Structure 1
Amino acid sequence: MFSKFEPYRIKTVEPIPLTTRENRQKYLEEVAFNPNCLKANQVTIDLMSDSGTNALSCKQWSAMMQADESYAGADSFYTFETTVKKITGFPFIVPVHQGRAAEKILFKVILSETQVAYSNGFFDTNRVHILQNKVKAINIDTEAESCDFMGNIDCRKLEEMLAKDDQKVGVVVMTITNGEKGGWPVSIANIKEVAAICRKHNVLFYADACRFAENSWFIKTRENGFRDKTPSQIALEMFNEFDGCIISAKKDGICNIGGVFATRQRDVFEKFSQECILAEGHITYGGLAGRDLEAIAVGLTEALDEHYLQHRIEMVQEFGRMLELNGATILEPGGHAIFVDADKALPHIPRNQHPAWALTCAIYVEGGIRAFEYGNIKFGYKDENGKELYRHPEFVRLAISRRVYTMSHLKYVAEVFGKVIQNASKVRGLTIVRSPSFLRLFTIEMKEV
């Protein structure tokens, strides 16, 4: 069996910042032990996010050079629109500057106060935008402890909840892949069953489809009847079940900025368009330059390439195995990231000293690696008196940028984890010094215990 390799050649290179352990300790103290506030030139391997951190292809750069920068009705918009229509099948398309702009506008125009929204796993900005409309956001994830599609929604529970009072349900959102649940995929069978339930109860069914291409690959390789279909064919079959979708082009658009709103509902499109003009700009540019629209059109197509997807998913899976060999306990790998169990890595640190946050700090000091806390700082549960609750498991997310790092970079990351875990007793917990009211992990200030 031949060795696996990246299905591309490297034409342009970017130097990686190299720092000393002493300097990294100083940098971390200067930002109040919040790795999210570090300068990029202080980070050696950056696995904080796979959003907008991708490497563009030669075809994308070429398309950008030919972009039309007209204010309205630019040729670049129609290139973008044609590509999105071909991939999704939706007739009404609006570009936005990124996915969270689409979700903010969408939830504003389709939801009303006192309603409820359900999902297999709301992304954090999804949840905040829904809550800002005074709507409850409730996850109904799968009960399966282990299966090929652990990102699924529990259809029995969904049916029960809709049967109680479907008039109060504003929307069901299917996140694909389920980023809040390990980047796990959703099956087409589950999507079709949820769509049927929503139609029965006359409830809107939308997709947060920022990783639709990765989800299509999991369906192709795991779900019966799809082995001989292309990722493009599978994606179209998925989208056919929804009333519309939002897409962050910073993920499976393989771009650095941009997003998509697409729907088959003219009334929603018209309301969305008016809000877009107010907040994002003309509906044929949506806060983007023509060159961004061109890059997205190419990136969405490249994201569905079978060779790219096979390498992408296998790279993440192999990274997970390397981490396990170095002593880490991980969630079942999904499509875009590995989630490391911080409770197991740092068993001496109690929940109220935030072991996942401590682990992100430790791997930065040890090896210059920036990761993302997926624990009780991110999810921020509090009781009615404002007292901290510790309901969420403590994980560290390592998100893999598309076409940026090689396996040797990820091998280094795994080795750094191994050293931190071997010397776990030296890692100290942290307490909160200052915290904003929501999405606090981006600007929170901490101190070591």
Structure 2
Amino acid sequence: MSVPHPVEPWRIKMVEPLRPTTRAERGDALRAAGYNISLLRSEDVLIDLYTDSGTNAMSDRQWSALLAGDEAYAGARSFYRLRDAVRAYYGYEHVIPVHQGRGAENLLSRCLIRPGDHVPGNMYFTTTRAHQELNGGTFHDVIRDEAHDPSCEHPFKGDVDIAKLERLIADVGADRIPYLSLAATVNMAGGQPISMAGLAAVRDLTRRHGIPVILDAARAVENAWFIKQREPGWGDRTIADILRAMCDLTDGATMSAKKDSYANIGGWLGVRDPELAERARELVVLYEGLHTYGGMAGRDMEAVARGIAESVEEPNIRARVGQVAYLGGRLADAGVPIVRPVGGHAVCVDAAAILPHLPRAEFPAQTLAAVLYLDSGVRAAERGAVSAGRDPATGRDRFPRLELVRLTVPRRVYTQSHLDLVADSMIRVHEHRTEITAGLAFTHEPSTLRFFQARFTPTAEIPLLT
């Protein structure tokens, strides 16, 4: 599976120093953070692969756009540049800016979900499901079964299983389904894409039942790249064309501009329905800011507008996905179990396969991420039982089939030598996996999105790898 590292379509103009740490320093930092990688201070992290959200490097064109920001409270010209960029590349008529993607999720959930509603989706995402549940909805996973199998090589593991969706509609009634939540790509499945054919089938079914389709568009450009590479009939189309074709099959989208648009902050809700747009504008004033800034400064809206145009430039997306594929290839060649095929934004390591001797209740992925940090100073993200949280009805831990450590590659940030350091460390941890004889247990567990601020203690001493 060896993959050559791509030639970066950019050169470095500014650098930020990194501070190497000793193993003893990392041990102290991890204990102070309660063995939660989310609580580590960034200055104690050498290579930060916790997320690609807001951690990207902006271009010189984006930095220059900041200076054109109109900071007027109402009617800033920067809002209209953002609105026009969304309309041009994503096609949604009504654009409501928000501070980041979860702001759009909040607005959408408050507008559409009523207690007792059911929201189908192609695998949950943490903040998305939390907003749905807080507004009285129940999430239903209708993704195809292959998405839950890390070793399956299906090219579009993010697709909705139409039969599952049909059964849900028959069971609860279309009138209790406020919308279908559709991610492209699917974060919790390892960045797996949806196909255009699958999206068209979803659109046909939902149109017959009057169910809106809302796209999580944070990484839709990456999804467009996979359609271009893998789906017959799309290889000659531009990324911009494919992105627009995807959005044309949906009724709206939530967007975290901290992903595909290269920005450090920002997002938007885009919809076609003018009545829904008006309700969202009323709520955005309460929760974000006026409808022409929505929690963003004018300079940030300028950077996002510029980033939208850059995101569909094929050299950028080719190099971005290529870096992730390179890291995945190095791990796969060394026998480290990863989610296949490699996704667009991250390489996801199968912690359950690496640590099968640890009970799921001792959180193998959280444990593996802690040991990886101890080994090298690399911060990854847990995407397993800790992230899944507890079932609100039973109070029991959810144990998803996927128990993953996510190595998320920020855009235009790290070089090949950085990724080689990550690969070497993960391979070394994998080679010493039998020495990891204990997992983690909660000492503090928040009720919502617990993975951000939870604290743990080892169930026994976690050895520091040599």
TM-score, structure 2 normalization = 0.93
CA distance change for structure 1 residues 95 and 206 in 2, over 3 Å: closer, same or farther?
same
Q: Which of 451, 455, 461 does residue 441 from structure 1 map onto? A: 451
* Counterpart Cα distance in 2 of 1:410 and 1:4: 12
SS at match of 1:19: coil
* Residue 2 of structure 1, CA deviation: 9.4
* Counterpart Cα distance in 2 of 1:100 and 1:378: 16
CA distance change for structure 1 residues 137 and 77 in 2, over 3 Å: closer, same or farther?
same
Q: How does 1:253-272 map to 2 (within 5 A)?
A: 253-272=261-280
SS at match of 2:386: helix
Asked if 1:366 is matched to 2:368, the reply is: no
Q: Is the 8 A contact 1:383 1:389 kept in 2?
A: no
Q: Is the 8 A contact 1:47 1:399 kept in 2?
A: yes
CA distance change for structure 1 residues 440 and 11 in 2, over 3 Å: closer, same or farther?
same
Asked if 1:108 is matched to 2:110, the reply is: yes
The aligned counterpart of 2:66 is 64
CA distance change for structure 1 residues 419 and 280 in 2, over 3 Å: closer, same or farther?
same
Q: How does 1:370-385 map to 2 (within 5 A)?
A: 370-381=379-390
Q: Is the 8 A contact 2:385 2:403 kept in 1?
A: yes
Q: How does 1:148-227 map to 2 (within 5 A)?
A: 148-164=155-171, 165-227=173-235
Which sits farther off after the overlay, 22-31 or 340-349?
340-349
The letter of the residue matching 1:362 is V
* Counterpart Cα distance in 2 of 1:63 and 1:325: 42
Q: Is the 8 A contact 2:4 2:326 kept in 1?
A: no
* Counterpart Cα distance in 2 of 1:258 and 1:173: 21
The letter of the residue matching 2:198 is N
The aligned counterpart of 1:313 is 321
The aligned counterpart of 2:462 is none
The aligned counterpart of 1:414 is 423
* Counterpart Cα distance in 2 of 1:3 and 1:395: 24
* Counterpart Cα distance in 2 of 1:422 and 1:208: 37
Q: Is the 8 A contact 1:381 1:391 kept in 2?
A: no
Which sits farther off after the overlay, 189-198 or 158-167?
158-167
Unaligned runs of 5+ in 1: none
Structure 1: which 4+ aligned runs deviate by more than 6 Å?
none
SS at match of 1:170: coil
* Counterpart Cα distance in 2 of 1:140 and 1:170: 15
Q: Which of 378, 385, 405 does residue 396 from structure 1 map onto? A: 405
Q: Is the 8 A contact 1:249 1:260 kept in 2?
A: yes
Which sits farther off after the overlay, 227-236 or 384-393?
384-393
Q: Is the 8 A contact 2:5 2:326 kept in 1?
A: no
* Counterpart Cα distance in 1 of 2:386 and 2:184: 24
- The number of residues matched between the two structures is 449
* Counterpart Cα distance in 2 of 1:324 and 1:127: 31
* Counterpart Cα distance in 2 of 1:158 and 1:390: 22
Which sits farther off after the overlay, 318-327 or 261-270?
318-327
Q: Is the 8 A contact 1:105 1:272 kept in 2?
A: yes
Identical aligned residues as a percent: 38
Asked if 1:430 is matched to 2:432, the reply is: no
Q: Is the 8 A contact 2:6 2:322 kept in 1?
A: no
* Counterpart Cα distance in 2 of 1:28 and 1:414: 21
* Residue 383 of structure 1, CA deviation: 8.8
Q: How does 1:4-23 map to 2 (within 5 A)?
A: 4-23=6-25
Which sits farther off after the overlay, 328-337 or 351-360?
351-360
The aligned counterpart of 1:147 is 154
* Counterpart Cα distance in 1 of 2:119 and 2:51: 26
CA distance change for structure 1 residues 385 and 154 in 2, over 3 Å: closer, same or farther?
closer
* Counterpart Cα distance in 2 of 1:244 and 1:270: 14
The letter of the residue matching 1:222 is R
SS at match of 1:276: helix
Q: Which of 360, 366, 369 does residue 357 from structure 1 map onto? A: 366
Deviations 1:76-119 (A, max 9, x none): 11111111100111111111100000010111111111111111
* Counterpart Cα distance in 2 of 1:393 and 1:180: 8
The letter of the residue matching 1:403 is R
CA distance change for structure 1 residues 356 and 112 in 2, over 3 Å: closer, same or farther?
same
The letter of the residue matching 1:340 is V
* Residue 391 of structure 1, CA deviation: 4.2
* Counterpart Cα distance in 2 of 1:158 and 1:101: 27
Which sits farther off after the overlay, 164-173 or 250-259?
164-173
Unaligned runs of 5+ in 2: 147-151, 460-466
The aligned counterpart of 1:303 is 311
* Counterpart Cα distance in 1 of 2:135 and 2:218: 22
* Residue 385 of structure 1, CA deviation: 5.9
* Counterpart Cα distance in 1 of 2:94 and 2:426: 46
SS at match of 1:438: coil
* Counterpart Cα distance in 1 of 2:371 and 2:346: 19
CA distance change for structure 1 residues 422 and 83 in 2, over 3 Å: closer, same or farther?
same
Q: Is the 8 A contact 2:189 2:402 kept in 1?
A: no
The aligned counterpart of 2:299 is 291
Task: Provide the alpha-carbon RMSD of the alignment.
Answer: 1.6
